[in-house]
Amino acid sequence: MSKFKIIAVLILIWTSGLNAQEITVFPGFWSAEYYQDDERISKKEVKALMAKNEEINAYWKKSKTQGTISSVGLVAEFGFALWMYAEILNDDPYLSNRDKAKNALGPAFGVLGSGVVTGIFMYASSKSKKKAILAYNKQFDNKTTFRLVPTSNKNGVGLALRF
């Protein structure tokens, strides 16, 4: 094998590995699944990658805080729903259906309010996480000063370095 072919293969291998760092997120059944190119990585590895850059880490921490608030809101919504259900099924023989409905009005507003808060914070968490991942991926854009592109001319077909 000639020196030119060896150098061309080495340059191809080196340049193909330079942009192989971007993170992709796919929704999973229990939580999001993270991939670095075609290899699945854990949430702990993503957190370690995000911690390397201060701006990206701030977005990631904000997303985590908003996710925690939305989880607390979801638990509160479940509690209000149980309370409302208990008020509606109250077996007190002296209460009419109208009185039962009045007693369930407070918990119903609790379900509605906590549902709105939970939805807002879930959306904000998702948006912050998206910002962190996009900012992380953006740091790899145009990182190389050249790339290999296929070309053909009157001399034949081959690869050319484009700066």
Domain parsing of the chain, residue ranges: 3-146
Q: What is the mean pLDDT of the chain?
A: 82
| Longest CA–CA separation in the chain, Å | 98
Question: What residues are paired with 41 via a beta bridge?
Answer: 34
Reading the block at residue 130, the tokens are 């998206």
Question: What residues are paired with 149 via a beta bridge?
Answer: 160
Under the banding of pLDDT at 50, 70 and 90, the label for residue 12 is low
- Cα(19)–Cα(37) distance, rounded to whole angstroms? 9
pLDDT in tens, 34-69: 998 788 999 899 999 999 889 999 999 999 999 999
CB count in 10 Å sphere of residue 28: 9
3-state helix, strand, coil in the chain (%, to 5): 60, 15, 25
